[in-house]
Structure 1
């Protein structure tokens, strides 16, 4: 479980940095739209990861499955945001 949570923390840091870089590279109006889209993406991520744990209700695999899914999606989104940032340069 410690590895899962440290992996989640690392993915969250990467996502935060990528989002921040992209926002700073854009106009204030576009930056606001990026933040709005990110909030929608967070809801999507949570909805996407919740069913992954259904088979593990009531045990530690429940939270591990959600954490692993969340971290994987965070890493993927961070990479997507970094590609967008590089394309804007």
Structure 2
């Protein structure tokens, strides 16, 4: 069965190119450790919701964009990726 480990972060707009570079590096590492897929999505036109939203979840500021990401594999693969990556 597939397993997804996801996360949401706020990235300053001025740092988005550096984040993309980091993301490319991180994705190759996750795949090297066994992940089947690594996806990073930069939010575009994602409003700050009244009660809940991705921007609200990460308390994004005006100069930040929201990035939603996931790593797909099995639960065992994702656990191995995490333990290997954390040293």
TM range (shorter): 0.3 to 0.5
Of Structure 1 and Structure 2, which has the larger fraction of its residues in helix? 1
Of Structure 1 and Structure 2, which has the larger fraction of its residues in strand? 2
TM-score calculated relative to the size of structure 2: 0.39
